[in-house]
Structure 1
């Protein structure tokens, strides 16, 4: 069994390592153009957004195109009328849909003069910028890598975010730009990078973990930058604490097309309720927290053992490593939040360039990184399968990914100049 797995991993490594005379990004762009051309042609036979279902993207028939963006822009109109849209948003074309964004979204968009009538143009522009940001994240590709990225970008869960015009696409775009700016030797440009990340944290909270890139600064700069941005962030959370409480009550606890540590337990509780066990006691309330804490503790303890090995100290660093750490940490933080729509998995795209770097280098840990790569592809596709084929495999995959990411997070934290994976640059 182990030999078979190693043969499969070796075949994947060989496929991804093949050289190509032409840049595979042109293949990727061609696939994306073809994908959206098919959707455009479908508009001559049906409502164009409904054709997404045939491509695996879950779109209810009553949902308008770019529904999440439309909902946000409708909230801007109600906000200008004086409504507290976190509590009541009568302008939303989908009645009863809760608003789960801080008020700063509405004030900023209102100052820009955007309206719900501009949803289609803004949605298309947001999608183009998102795919442009992906091209910015990745470098030259061979044919095998182009096929891999095509499978990832055309997956149902990535395209679900595009079809809805979800604002996580905007966060992805800004973070991609910020991490690229972070590579500059000019401190002012790096400070601008941290400010961009701070801006995304103000908009969506969870991107604050992107400021882990500050750890690459000198000891003195690292200290005052951490104090500055952490202080500003905590002060901002204090200012909007009431809004956050309302938003927390509005956030749906979905168990389909979702990931997070609570998802599988909520599914189990629903099953018990339908089976005639409505009162399940405190044990079932505490069980998710016990399992989560056990996984984190176990991964941490095992990472301490791995720290005695040299295999991770030799990991290369550079721009790819920055993207990897940010993508890894966003996944970990959002998983711990409990529930997230699967389109938030787009941030796993940040981890792909570094995964490929390690896999192709035939590093000692390349098998582990190959497993993570396969897990990412699986979680982006599995949740769209019918229940009798899925059987919660997507949640199993997400728990495995979370465990491995926690392990890698602790292993790759800097432990001094001698044993830091950030000392070797990727060329």
Structure 2
């Protein structure tokens, strides 16, 4: 065998080994990092606090982790005692009012001493184990970038808090894997998403994935989801009205992201620095940003190189890219979110890297690779403070615009949309034939 052929076989074998090792290497490294952090907390709390400061993770005021887990269990505890946690919550260390779904208060979770740590560990381990089921990195570089994102400040923030968004992450991963299976299992995936949506609301945006189904099945899924949601609202409408004022408003210069952050932050900066900021300025800036984002997304979705690269993606990679785009764009445009919700960029990052690698050189490829770089930057930018505020906002709009392009491309090629377009074309053709016969008579 020629030396060049042997070298080619060796390279291909190494690539296969890399691809097989990649999906295990990233979650295993995350589990190891979590175990090391837990060991530091147990045996060297000073070093643990220093590690949090190094990562830019906000320190807890009480010296223990899983503050968000404690919040959930404290609400349940107070509710069982007959206390209206929508108004007052003496069981929580910070007195935080209930701003989650009413279903949390009905969960049969233990609330005794020590259960915050146990529940927090379960949430974190569920998230870490779900990483094994994300799309595989196709190259060593992709694996290294995905590892960097997985071990980022955003992930550490969510893990340290024991935030329930990590539970939603694991449930979304389970739904995604079910959607890659037979029709009966795909139906179970929508049930998982519906349950997650009743807990945290924002996962309901994943029902858009039903566009992948046949039109008849998509309509059935939409009808079932709407019926369940109407039933939920009718059952808990009084509590839903009470929790709405408790939802935190946007902090324009804090640890939040969303579409309103840049326009309102810019208006505040103009008022402070220039003494001029008319009331219409934030709304006008938001409209301009949304128009530019949508225009860029439409242009990207129509790019031939982008469409070709999208068609060559592995089904799992494409599905999780769409899921990540839905979750990130939904949270970005619906309401300002705490930074740890950026962890859902992990769904999209493998797909963005694969798209960029499969596209020809040009502006569209630069936009996609720029979105991947922006995602990585956003997951590691918690220490920058005000100095990094503007770059972070630009990165968010860049990433969201590209992800919106992914969604437009997904909608254009979705099975339900193709059936609907074909049905509409038949209706128009029938109308034209009827009009032609009428004119001839």
Instruction: Give the counterpart of 2:157 among 136, 155, 160.
Output: 160
Would you say the 8 A contact 1:77–1:91 is kept in 2? yes
In structure 2, the partner of 1:68 is 68
Deviates more, 1:198-207 or 1:303-312: 303-312
In structure 2, the partner of 1:231 is 227
In structure 2, the partner of 1:379 is 378
TM-score, normalised on structure 2?
0.80
In structure 2, the partner of 1:10 is none
In structure 1, the partner of 2:208 is 212
Shift in CA distance, 282/135, structure 1 to aligned 2, threshold 3 Å: same
Shift in CA distance, 79/131, structure 1 to aligned 2, threshold 3 Å: same
Which whole-Å CA distance do the structure 1 matches of 2:41 and 2:261 have between them?
A: 35
Instruction: Give the counterpart of 2:127 among 123, 130, 147.
Output: 130
1:84-124, Cα deviation, whole Å (9 max, x unpaired): 212211100113x333202111111xx23344631112212
1:379-413, Cα deviation, whole Å (9 max, x unpaired): 1112322433x242111100111122222211231
Instruction: Give the counterpart of 1:188 among 179, 184, 190.
Output: 184
Larger radius of gyration: 2
TM-score, normalised on structure 1?
0.82
Unpaired runs of 5+ in structure 2? Answer: 1-10, 419-441
- The equivalences for 1:356-371 within 5 A come to 356-361=353-358, 366-371=365-370
Task: State the Cα distance separating 1:416 from its structure 2 match.
Answer: 6.9
Instruction: Give the counterpart of 1:147 among 128, 144, 148.
Output: 144
Secondary structure at the aligned position of 1:358 is classed as helix
In structure 2, the partner of 1:118 is 115
- The equivalences for 1:35-50 within 5 A come to 36-38=35-37, 40-41=39-40, 43-47=42-46, 50=49
Deviates more, 1:53-62 or 1:25-34: 25-34
RMSD over aligned CA atoms reads: 3.2
In structure 2, the partner of 1:8 is none
Task: State the Cα distance separating 1:54 from its structure 2 match.
Answer: 3.3
In structure 1, the partner of 2:430 is none
Task: State the Cα distance separating 1:318 from its structure 2 match.
Answer: 1.5
Would you say the 8 A contact 1:130–1:170 is kept in 2? yes
Task: State the Cα distance separating 1:342 from its structure 2 match.
Answer: 0.8
1:7-32, Cα deviation, whole Å (9 max, x unpaired): xxxxxxx9xx9564571345432464
Secondary structure at the aligned position of 2:280 is classed as helix
Task: State the Cα distance separating 1:362 from its structure 2 match.
Answer: 5.0
In structure 2, the partner of 1:264 is 262
Unpaired runs of 5+ in structure 1? Answer: 1-13, 421-427
Which whole-Å CA distance do the structure 1 matches of 2:360 and 2:98 have between them?
A: 46
Would you say the 8 A contact 1:133–1:173 is kept in 2? yes
Shift in CA distance, 43/416, structure 1 to aligned 2, threshold 3 Å: closer
In structure 1, the partner of 2:197 is 201
Shift in CA distance, 314/275, structure 1 to aligned 2, threshold 3 Å: closer
In structure 2, the partner of 1:7 is none
Which whole-Å CA distance do the structure 2 matches of 1:56 and 1:311 have between them?
A: 39
Task: State the Cα distance separating 1:266 from its structure 2 match.
Answer: 3.6
1:151-208, Cα deviation, whole Å (9 max, x unpaired): 11111111101100000011111111111111112x2221111111111111111111
In structure 2, the partner of 1:423 is none
Which whole-Å CA distance do the structure 2 matches of 1:196 and 1:77 have between them?
A: 26
Shift in CA distance, 272/247, structure 1 to aligned 2, threshold 3 Å: farther
Task: State the Cα distance separating 1:61 from its structure 2 match.
Answer: 4.5
Shift in CA distance, 23/310, structure 1 to aligned 2, threshold 3 Å: closer
Which whole-Å CA distance do the structure 1 matches of 2:137 and 2:273 have between them?
A: 54
- The equivalences for 1:19-418 within 5 A come to 20=17, 23-28=21-26, 29-30=28-29, 32-34=31-33, 36-38=35-37, 40-41=39-40, 43-47=42-46, 50-63=49-62, 64-95=64-95, 97-108=96-107, 111-115=108-112, 117-139=114-136, 142-185=139-182, 187-237=183-233, 239-252=235-248, 253-254=250-251, 255-271=253-269, 274=272, 277=275, 280-299=277-296, 301-302=298-299, 305-306=302-303, 311=308, 314-316=311-313, 318-361=315-358, 366-388=365-387, 390-415=388-413
- Structure with bigger helix share is 2
Would you say the 8 A contact 1:257–1:383 is kept in 2? yes
Shift in CA distance, 86/333, structure 1 to aligned 2, threshold 3 Å: same
Would you say the 8 A contact 2:300–2:306 is kept in 1? no
Which whole-Å CA distance do the structure 2 matches of 1:360 and 1:173 have between them?
A: 28
Q: How many matched pairs?
A: 399
Secondary structure at the aligned position of 1:404 is classed as helix
Which whole-Å CA distance do the structure 2 matches of 1:117 and 1:34 have between them?
A: 23
